[in-house]
Amino acid sequence: MQKQILGRPPSTTEVDSIAEDETPSQLDSIRWLIGGGVALIVLIVVATAFMVSNYRDRAIKNAEREAESVVSLLARHFDQELGAFTAIQSAFADKVKGIESSDEFRHQIASYETYLSLKVKLEGDTATPRG
């Protein structure tokens, strides 16, 4: 193998002599090394893509499960609130069922006692913890 002298480019005869100096087994080793490196890079890219896809699928499933849980909790909460409201409404309807005249109805509904009764029921309903 000849070296490049004083920065001048090698001539074609020098290039030919460099190529002749390398044996076929060295060229095969270099090709195998390059091929193995390329194969390793491809394998890493494929494995990374698979892992990203797998992580994405798991994240989507977790988000769906959390959303279903939130929807279930909200539905249960609204059912409890509507049940409490329905109970108060039924108690109030039972109280005014026996009223015969419109004047008596106005007097009963406009009374301070009815106001306090509804206030206590509503405050008592919101003050009780739900489990």
- Per-residue confidence at 65, pLDDT binned at 50, 70, 90? very high
The whole model's pTM is what? 0.47
Torsion, Cα of 28, 31, 37, 42 (10° steps): -120
Confidence of residue 119 (pLDDT cuts 50, 70, 90): confident
**Mean pLDDT to the nearest integer, 91-101:** 83
Question: How high is the pLDDT of residue 126?
Answer: 53
pLDDT at 22 over 70: no
Give the Cα separation of 15 and 31 in Å (integer).
19
